[in-house]
Amino acid sequence: MAPVLEADRLRALIPSEPWNRVDIVDEVGSTNAVLMADPQPWRVLVADHQTSGRGRLERSWQAPAGLGISMSVTLPLPQEPVRWGWVPLLVGLATRRAIARITGLSAGLKWPNDLLLTIGDGQQRKVGGILCEVAPGGDPTVVAGIGLNVWQTNDQLPTEAATSLSLNGSTADREDIVAAVLEELVAIEGVWGDPVRDDDYRAACVTLGQRVKVQVSHDRSSGGRAVDIDEHGRLVVDDGEQRVPHSVGDIIHVRPDAASIRPQDRSAFVDRMEQRLMGSPRTLRRADVAELAGSRPGLPQELWRAMGFANARDEDIVFNRRDVEAVRGIERIIDRGLVDAETAVRLARAVGRSTDRMEMWMLQLVSDMMTAEQDLEVDTTTAFDVAERLIAIADEMTPLIDYVSRRNLANAISRMVADAEPESHVGVVRTVGFADLVSFTSLVRTTSERDLAELVTSFETTVSDVVAQAGGAVVKTVGDEVLFTHRSIAGGIRIAFDLLEAVARTPKLPRLRIGVATGRVLARQGDVYGHTVNRASRLTSTAAPGEILVDGDVAREALTVPDADVFDVGLVHLPGVGDVQASAISRSPRSDSQEDA
């Protein structure tokens, strides 16, 4: 149990000179925010808990109640504005000195002012952070906020990259640490116009000498060796050609270069990530899962294989309680007679396949958002960051995934009921369309990977929007091609028109050609098959860029659609399908002007 923060004891430890106002509170939004609203110099505010603690660059600072130090002080800024850039660095130095004095721990300073401790395996983790803000109005004053992890266990820390003083052997009370920080701040403030102290910072700065990657904006980074901190407190990076100074405000991230990450760090990282996602480490063998789930012996193995996971051997310890719960769930639906064992395994396969695609997709989106390189190469540090981000959003995504899956099931049920017919036919009637980006193959040869990825994403987004808006369904998109269906011919025609127009409006996308046919289709495993699908596909390959080719039934219906023009193309020979009466349709220009009127 972490000792409570004793306000009276802490107050007694803080001298009234120079600290002329000391507030110690149980809870506050952000200690920095409070002092920024009333920045009288030499104020102290300590909170046992912050409900909306702030970090640098609009990030948040999180610590559970009663476990950390959250404090802010107001200090006069140095006379010389040129020294202001050094203020946050020196606040970091003062905090490092206080920690060393009270706990014996030696915290490194990651430029500008993260406090790091080196844990057992040589890795550095963040134990504290500093947020300095220049207060508005009056004499130049800074609000310096200091957050330290003191009593947190690993489970109580917000990220993998964090640690606490107690996890590193400290038993020091928070009151003593706060008092020491304040003493060191007074000492450093007395000399913070004096560049001599800067060398103490440089000596404690773990960033200097490291190969670093400096993330300047979400899509721009540069790399090199951190060689100095200049007179403005800027980090000077030697990129091999020149020494480039970077100021605090311009930088999102300074990280060790990927080359400095050891292979064993990568596998340890992957193990930790899996543990966080799966809730506990791997402790069980296949037989243990079967026993704990009360299932027949072969089922866990069969399910694993069906879901597309590597096959585990008898002796492999690769499972945990989540696997037990999953097997139990499947076993229950078999026991209750809701599905037979074979179908249960097929259901698992359906879930495995679709979620694999979904997760890869989500990973790609987050990675695209976070990568700075033009060539889409993801180095190890970026991969670590992307992984952290994905895990941070995973819990929030779970309810969304459950929701979307239920909505999709409701829609699928509704389609099935609507399609049910008294007489038994094979398949259901659908209008099927293929839309194909013209000259995509040559585009692939001449476009950078990043542009290509953007292009494909933009195509998929446009298609999903258009098809959903018209009440249709996207069966699949394969790079440059989309297969969609609609329950009505008019709906299929509308999708074809809207797609053509939307793609023409979207920058960088080449033109589309589209084929539409209607008739019975066989729907299996989320895909559609049969003659109608083949006809639509062949019509597409025959269509000219910007053209929509349709079969006879679609053309007849198009004649009744007010905004459609229909041109008979005559008999067209479609390879593998035969001769088809084809027509080209287009949205009549008249309808646009009517809509405008």
**Helices and strands of the chain, counted as H and E runs:** 17, 20
Residue 54 or 255 having the CB closest to ligand BTN: 54
* Residue 18: exposure state from Cβ atoms within 10 A (0-12, 13-18, ≥19): middle
Residue 384 or 497 having the CB closest to ligand BTN: 384
The answer for 415, left when phi > 0, alpha when psi is -120 to 50, beta otherwise, is: alpha
Q: Which stretch binds ligand BTN (CB under 6 A): 51-59, 308-316, 424-432, 561-569?
A: 51-59
Structure tokens at 14: 């803080």
- Residue 477's DSSP bridge partners are 482
CA distance 403 to 148: 38
- DSSP class of residue 447 equals S
Residue 61 or 304 having the CB closest to ligand BTN: 61
Q: Is 243 in the site for ligand BTN (CB under 6 A)?
A: no
Q: Is 44 in the site for ligand BTN (CB under 6 A)?
A: no
Please give the backbone phi and psi of residue 237, each rounded to the nearest 5 degrees, phi first. -115, 130
CA distance 86 to 233: 5
Q: Is 21 in the site for ligand BTN (CB under 6 A)?
A: no
Interface pick for ligand BTN out of 18, 55, 66, 76 (rule CB under 6 A): 55
- DSSP class of residue 96 equals H
Q: Long-range contacts: 395-398, Cβ < 8 Å, 24+?
A: 397/362
Comparing C-alpha atoms, which of 108, 117, 92, 102 is closest to residue 168? Answer: 117
Q: Is 61 in the site for ligand BTN (CB under 6 A)?
A: yes
The angle formed by the CA atoms of residues 495, 434 and 417, to the nearest 5 degrees, is: 65
Least gap, CB of 53 to ligand BTN (angstroms): 4
Q: Is 70 in the site for ligand BTN (CB under 6 A)?
A: yes
Q: Is 145 in the site for ligand BTN (CB under 6 A)?
A: yes
Query: By Cβ distance, which residue is nearest to ligand BTN?
Result: 129
Least gap, CB of 229 to ligand BTN (angstroms): 18
CA distance 411 to 405: 10
Least gap, CB of 109 to ligand BTN (angstroms): 12
Least gap, CB of 63 to ligand BTN (angstroms): 8
Residue 89 or 543 having the CB closest to ligand BTN: 89
Least gap, CB of 6 to ligand BTN (angstroms): 19
CA distance 477 to 530: 18
Structure tokens at 341: 């064992």
Q: Is 320 in the site for ligand BTN (CB under 6 A)?
A: no
Structure tokens at 25: 């509170």
CA distance 566 to 556: 9
Interface pick for ligand BTN out of 78, 112, 147, 492 (rule CB under 6 A): 147
Structure tokens at 468: 């959903």
Q: Is 56 in the site for ligand BTN (CB under 6 A)?
A: yes
Q: Is 50 in the site for ligand BTN (CB under 6 A)?
A: yes
Interface pick for ligand BTN out of 5, 22, 24, 53 (rule CB under 6 A): 53
Interface pick for ligand BTN out of 54, 97, 174, 486 (rule CB under 6 A): 54
Q: Is 59 in the site for ligand BTN (CB under 6 A)?
A: yes
Q: Which ranges of 551-588 would DSSP assign to H, the alpha helix?
A: 552-558
Q: Is 129 in the site for ligand BTN (CB under 6 A)?
A: yes
Residue 59 or 220 having the CB closest to ligand BTN: 59
Least gap, CB of 513 to ligand BTN (angstroms): 52
Q: What is the DSSP string of 359-426?
A: HHHHHHHHHHHH---TT----HHHHHHHHHHHHHHHHHHHHHHHHHHHHHHHHHHHHHHHH--SS--S
CA distance 128 to 36: 21
The edge-to-edge listing of strands for the beta sheet with 108-110 is: 21-28, 43-50, 68-76, 141-149, 124-134, 114-118, 108-110
Least gap, CB of 95 to ligand BTN (angstroms): 11
Q: Is 72 in the site for ligand BTN (CB under 6 A)?
A: yes
Q: Is 31 in the site for ligand BTN (CB under 6 A)?
A: yes
Residue 54 or 125 having the CB closest to ligand BTN: 54
Q: Which stretch binds ligand BTN (CB under 6 A): 129-137, 192-200, 313-321, 435-443?
A: 129-137
Q: Which stretch binds ligand BTN (CB under 6 A): 127-135, 152-160, 240-248, 554-562?
A: 127-135
Q: Which stretch binds ligand BTN (CB under 6 A): 140-148, 182-190, 327-335, 498-506?
A: 140-148
Residue 41 or 88 having the CB closest to ligand BTN: 88
Residue 33 or 528 having the CB closest to ligand BTN: 33
3-class SS at 69? strand
Q: How many residues contact ligand BTN, by CB under 6 A? A: 20
Least gap, CB of 279 to ligand BTN (angstroms): 27
Q: Which stretch binds ligand BTN (CB under 6 A): 65-73, 237-245, 415-423, 432-440?
A: 65-73
Positions touching ligand BTN (CB under 6 A) are 30-32, 50, 53-56, 59, 61, 70-72, 114, 129-131, 145-147
